[in-house]
Amino acid sequence: MSKPRTIIEKIWDNHVVAERPDAPSLLYIDLHLVHEVTSPQAFDGLRARGLKVRRPDLTIATTDHSTPTTPRGFPILDKIAATQVEKLIQNCKDFGIHCYPLGSDKQGIVHVIGPELGLTQPGMTVVCGDSHTATHGALGALAIGIGTSEVEHVLATQCLLLKRSKTYRVRVDGALKPGVSAKDIILALIARIGIGGATGSIFEYCGSAIRSLSMEERMTVCNMSIEGGARAGLVAPDDTTYQYVAGRQFAPQGARGDQALARWRQLPTDDGATYDKSITIDAASLEPMITFGTNPGMGIPIRGAVPNPTDITDPLERDSLARALVYMDLPPGKPLLGHPVNVVFIGSCTNSRISDLRIAASVLKGRKVSPHVRVLVVPGSQQVKEQAQAEGLDQIFRDAGADWREAGCSMCIAMNGDQLEPGQYSVSTSNRNFEGRQGKGGRTFLASPMTAAASAISGKVSDVRELL
Residue 17 sits in the site that holds other proteins (CB under 8 A): yes
Only one of the segments 180-188, 328-336, 368-376, 434-442 lies at the binding site for other proteins (rule: CB under 8 A); that segment is 434-442
Q: How far is the CB of 101 from other proteins (least distance, A)?
A: 14
Distance CA 402, CA 82 (A): 27
Q: How far is the CB of 234 from other proteins (least distance, A)?
A: 16
- Binding residues for other proteins restricted to 234-253, rule: CB under 8 A: 250, 252
Q: How far is the CB of 121 from other proteins (least distance, A)?
A: 6
Distance CA 46, CA 111 (A): 25
Are 58 and 32 a contacting pair, CB within 8 Å? Answer: yes
Helices then strands, counting H and E runs in the chain, come out as: 15, 19
Distance CA 124, CA 142 (A): 6
Are 249 and 216 a contacting pair, CB within 8 Å? Answer: no
Residue 119 sits in the site that holds other proteins (CB under 8 A): yes
Compare residues 119 and 170 and give the one whose CB is closer to other proteins.
119
- DSSP 3-state of 229: coil
Which residue from 11, 31, 170, 209 is in contact with other proteins, where contact means CB under 8 A?
31
Distance CA 376, CA 190 (A): 26
Which residue from 115, 179, 229, 379 is in contact with other proteins, where contact means CB under 8 A?
229
Residue 415 sits in the site that holds other proteins (CB under 8 A): yes
Q: How far is the CB of 215 from other proteins (least distance, A)?
A: 18
CA dihedral 384, 468, 410, 197 (to 10 degrees): -110
Compare residues 17 and 175 and give the one whose CB is closer to other proteins.
17
Q: How far is the CB of 450 from other proteins (least distance, A)?
A: 25
Compare residues 65 and 460 and give the one whose CB is closer to other proteins.
65
- Binding residues for other proteins restricted to 55-114, rule: CB under 8 A: 55-60, 65-66, 78, 80-81, 83-84, 87, 96-98
Are 302 and 467 a contacting pair, CB within 8 Å? Answer: no
Distance of CA 191 to the CA centre of its chain: 17
Residue 200 sits in the site that holds other proteins (CB under 8 A): yes
Distance CA 391, CA 349 (A): 21
Residue 204 sits in the site that holds other proteins (CB under 8 A): no
Residue 277 sits in the site that holds other proteins (CB under 8 A): no
- Binding residues for other proteins restricted to 340-369, rule: CB under 8 A: none
- DSSP 3-state of 3: coil
Q: How far is the CB of 188 from other proteins (least distance, A)?
A: 19
Are 181 and 450 a contacting pair, CB within 8 Å? Answer: yes
- DSSP 3-state of 155: helix
Which residue from 6, 69, 107, 158 is in contact with other proteins, where contact means CB under 8 A?
158
Strand partners of residue 100: 62
Which residue from 111, 153, 385, 460 is in contact with other proteins, where contact means CB under 8 A?
153
Which residue from 1, 2, 3, 49 is in contact with other proteins, where contact means CB under 8 A?
49
Which residue from 6, 62, 107, 131 is in contact with other proteins, where contact means CB under 8 A?
131
Cα–Cα separations (whole angstroms), residue 262 to 168, 258, 294: 26, 6, 45
Count Cα atoms within 13 angstroms, Cβ side, for 411.
33
Residue 443 sits in the site that holds other proteins (CB under 8 A): no
